[in-house]
Amino acid sequence: MSDSAFPDLSRIVDASLYTFPPRGGDFLDTLQQLIDQCLPGTIGLKLLSMKPEVCRASLDYHVKTAGLHGLMHGGTIFAAGDTLTALMLLFHMSEHTRNVLTSGARIRYLRPVPRNTTVELEARLLDRTADRFKTVCDFFDSARKRVARANYDYILVDRAEFRT
């Protein structure tokens, strides 16, 4: 997919807070450099592939994203899934969209994530009704055993409705 098929990130990224990489890079690299500057970068989310219906990423275990029990913190997993599913909706925005907002979420943790584990994330679009989206994100350990599954709901907000 050519970069022209991707949205103009300057419409949704606050340039007063985040530095855009030099032009000319591919979309995945540009997006990774942007998210590395905020929460997803802090937790170590690495984008692997971005497509309109399925997106993939990885998340390495780090002590800074673990709980006191030494396992990956559930909030780390939740935030990574929320980020990946929201980024998938970049493909579904109109020229008038100002933001993608999480309107609801549910997660089920199935097994702990211990040290030295890389979690693979796979996000999919389930349903769209007008400006509302339902997504799912599955989280797998290195043996491809599911460690969690989350559903995230979103609404696309028009520029005219968005007030900062």
Cβ-contact 2, 50 below 8 angstroms: no
Average pLDDT over residues 106-133: 96
Average pLDDT over residues 42-60: 96
Closest by alpha carbon to 77, among 123, 37, 32?
123
Higher per-residue pLDDT: 93 or 46? 46
Give residue-wise pLDDT tens across range 134-164. 999 999 999 999 999 999 999 998 765 655 5
What are the distances in angstroms from CA 88 to CA 91, 100, 125, 163? 6, 10, 8, 23
Give residue-wise pLDDT tens across range 59-73. 999 999 999 999 999
Q: Residue 23's pLDDT band (boundaries 50, 70, 90)? A: confident
Q: Residue 16's pLDDT band (boundaries 50, 70, 90)? A: confident
Secondary structure of 101-147 in the HEC alphabet? EEEEEEEEECCCCCCCCEEEEEEEEEEEECCEEEEEEEEECCCCCEE
- Model pTM? 0.90
**14: CATH:** 3.10.129.10
CA-CA distance, 147 to 5, in Å (whole number)?
33
pLDDT at 99 exceeding the cut of 80? yes
Q: Residue 5's pLDDT band (boundaries 50, 70, 90)? A: low
Q: Which domain holds residue 72?
A: 3-161
pLDDT at 45 exceeding the cut of 90? yes
Whole-number pLDDT of residue 160 = 57
Closest by alpha carbon to 44, among 63, 67, 69?
63
What are the distances in angstroms from CA 147 to CA 34, 76, 88, 111, 154? 27, 13, 21, 5, 23
Average pLDDT over residues 44-66: 96
Give the count of domains, the chain: 1
